[in-house]
Amino acid sequence: MKRAIVVGTGAGGATVAKELQGAFAVTILEAGREFKPFAMNLSLLDKLRKTGLFLDEREIPFLFPTMRIRKAGNNMILVNGVGTGGTTTIATGNAMRMDRDLKALGIDLDEEFAEISREIPISTEHQKRWHPITRRLYEICRQLGLEPRPTPKMGDYSRCIRCGRCILGCSQGAKWDTRHFVTKAMSSGAELITDCTVEKVIVSDGLAVGVEAKKGWTSEFYPADLVVLAAGGLGTPVILQNSGMQCQRRLFVDPVLCVAAPSKRSMYHLEVAMPFVVQRDHYIVSPYFDYLSFFFHREWRYPIGDMVGLMIKLADTPNGSISKRGLEKKLTDLDRKRLQEAVALCRDILCRYGALEEEIFLGTVNAGHPGGMLPLTVREASSLHHQSLPDNLFVADATLLPEPLGNPPILTIIALAKRVSKVCAKLFASHSLN
């Protein structure tokens, strides 16, 4: 049986592993370890915050090793998950189809989205249990003509206990993440190797023959007939460049900025994250409690249960890059202009909610949806494979997305990874590679 190496267990990697196992003997290489939800008491952390011990966002991995933190230009913080399930374990479980730009290239993923709907429970069931504040914010947005929509979520929200830990790992199993796909792949025979950081793809006679990875203190070679990179928008480009394959300086990250106000005894940090979404040109707005700002931004001085906030997620200008030398990413003047427009809208919503204009404060600009450094074009619409890559080396994550989404990308990445899997299986079934 042909051997396939899949790098990463997030939205792309876990999907490919599940789809290919059986047609291939799949080995999944994950840089992190087994994911475990954050278990510390939030009230205790609230008390620790007042001691001033939390000085820098890069301290987060000491408390929660699953989160990896990087600093970019304009003091922007980049966050991604490292561990089984990748960033899906610390995402908010949103299931939003965002393939307009792919469809414009001629990539129709209707079949793949239909498959997803049969495999993953998706609903707006959480709406029945919304906090009164959420209902009030939703009504304000509706009255403003903003057309808010309940956010479809992946999982079984009848199990949700409203603990406010969506981005810290759902201990109740209410929120779906790609560990389900990893488990399914392994039950069919796939091998998972954790704590294994792939550094580069080894190429011989024009074909990928495997990958070189750090396992503990040593370097290991993992042979393969097929290699699929799904290490995420910050991981895959580095592996490609280490392997002598160039990417484009088109990194986008979907920056997030939260606008908040004091709200005595609101306990809004216990609400499901992003319960509804307002779609605007170039950004979205959604209710959200920003833990990053709460612990590390000096203006977030109120007790954890005494605030209410709105998230802005921006479709930023794709103008950055990452390599082994470091990260280059800054907000452009246009990005900042659009953020200011979004902030003004959030201030209006919060004032209508009852906040005082002078008491509204901003959070830390952060981002967690990197991608775009090897974007698909019309030329790759059918193959989903760049000509610059060996014929048996594929990418299956947000690195392929042609434009920033400014929206939750997980569902779209899963659909795209499903299509990549089909292309790989068909390619080898045709015996075009030996």
Domain boundary among 326, 351, 367: 367
Residue carrying structure tokens 């080995």: 27
- Residue 254 confidence (pLDDT): 98
What pLDDT does residue 226 have?
98
Has residue 62 got a pLDDT over 90?
A: no
Do the Cβ atoms of 314 and 281 come closer than 8 Å?
no
* Cβ atoms 181, 18 nearer than 8 A: yes
CB 313 within 8 A of CB 407: yes
User: How far is the C-alpha of 13 from the C-alpha of 340, rounded, in Å?
Assistant: 36
Query: Are 271 and 212 members of one domain?
Result: no
Q: How far is CA 171 from the centre of its chain?
A: 19
User: Is 201 within the bounds of a domain?
Assistant: yes
Inside any domain, residue 109 = no
> How would you classify residue 319: left for phi > 0, otherwise alpha for psi between -120 and 50, otherwise beta?
alpha
pLDDT at 40: 77
Judged by DSSP in three states, 18 sits in helix
Give the CATH number for residue 244.
Answer: 3.50.50.60
Angle between helices 11-20 and 410-429 (to 10 degrees): 30
- The pair of structure tokens assigned to 302 is 């109120």
Per-residue pLDDT, 298: 83
Q: Span 254-282, mean pLDDT?
A: 97
Asked whether residue 220 is domain-assigned, the answer is yes
| Residue 393 scores a pLDDT above 70 | yes
pLDDT (tens digit per residue) in 225-235: 999 999 999 99
- Residue 325 has φ and ψ, to the nearest 5°, of -80, -15
Instruction: Assess whether 71 and 218 both reside in one domain.
Output: no
Query: How many CA atoms are closer than 13 Å to the CA of 139, on its beta-carbon side?
Result: 9
Look at residue 276 and give its three-state secondary structure. Answer: strand
Q: 33 and 194 in contact (C-beta within 8 Å)?
A: yes
> Using an 8 Å Cβ cutoff, are 253 and 370 in contact?
yes
Do residues 219 and 160 share a domain? no
Per-residue pLDDT of 316-345, as tens digits, reads: 999 999 999 999 999 999 999 999 999 999
Q: What is the mean pLDDT of the chain?
A: 94
Of 324, 350, 367, the one marking the end of a domain is: 367
Q: Are residues 228 and 203 in the same domain?
A: yes
Share of the chain above pLDDT 70, in %: 98
- In three state form, how does the secondary structure of 212-271 look? EEEECCEEEEEECCEEEECCCCCCHHHHHHHCCCCCCCCEECCEEEEEEEECCCCCHHHC
Measured CA to CA, the distance from residue 323 to residue 413 in angstroms comes to 22
342 and 257 co-located in one domain: yes
- Do 381 and 400 belong together in one domain? yes
Rounded mean pLDDT of 238-244? Answer: 98
Domain assignment present for 434: no
Would the pLDDT of 54 be above 80? no
Q: Are 125 and 157 in contact (CB under 8 A)?
A: yes
Proportion of the chain above pLDDT 90, given as a percent: 83
The tokens for 246 are 């160039």
Q: Which pLDDT score is estimated for 386?
A: 96
Q: Which of 349, 367, 385 is the last residue of a domain?
A: 367
Is residue 198 located within the same domain as residue 335? Answer: no
Q: What tokens were used for 219?
A: 């370097």
Residue 112 lies in a domain: no
pLDDT band at 61 (very low <50, low <70, confident <90, very high): confident
Mean pLDDT of 417-427: 96
Q: Is the pLDDT of residue 433 over 70?
A: no
Mean pLDDT of 273-284: 97
**For the chain, how many structural domains are there in total?**
2
Length of the chain in residues, anyone? 434
200: pLDDT strictly greater than 60: yes
The pLDDT of residue 53 is 63
Q: Is residue 266 part of a domain?
A: yes
Q: Is residue 165 part of a domain?
A: yes
Residues 127-133: contacts with CB under 8 Å, at least 24 apart: 127/275, 127/276, 129/157, 129/160, 129/162, 129/272, 130/271, 130/272, 130/275, 131/162, 131/267, 131/268, 131/270, 131/271, 133/263, 133/266, 133/268, 133/271, 133/287, 133/308, 133/353
Give residue 434's pLDDT. Answer: 54
Question: What SS3 state is found at 137?
Answer: helix
Q: How far apart are CA 226 and CA 25, in angstroms?
A: 10
The pLDDT value recorded for residue 297 is 86
Segment 134-169, tens digit of pLDDT: 999 999 999 999 999 999 999 999 999 988 889 989
80 and 201 together in one domain: no
| 210 and 279 part of one domain | no
C-alpha closest to that of 345 among 146, 129, 132: 146
Same domain, residue pair 207 and 267 = no
In the predicted model, what is the mean pLDDT of residues 29-35?
Answer: 96
**What is the pLDDT averaged over residues 245-274?**
97
Q: Which domain holds residue 333?
A: 43-92+123-173+251-367
User: Same domain, yes or no, for 350 and 408?
Assistant: no
Compute φ and ψ for 7, nearest 5 degrees: -100, 110
Mean pLDDT for the stretch of residues 23-33: 97
Using pLDDT thresholds of 50, 70 and 90, give the confidence band for residue 47.
confident
User: Do 244 and 255 fall within a single domain?
Assistant: no
Question: In this structure, is residue 58 part of a structural domain?
Answer: yes
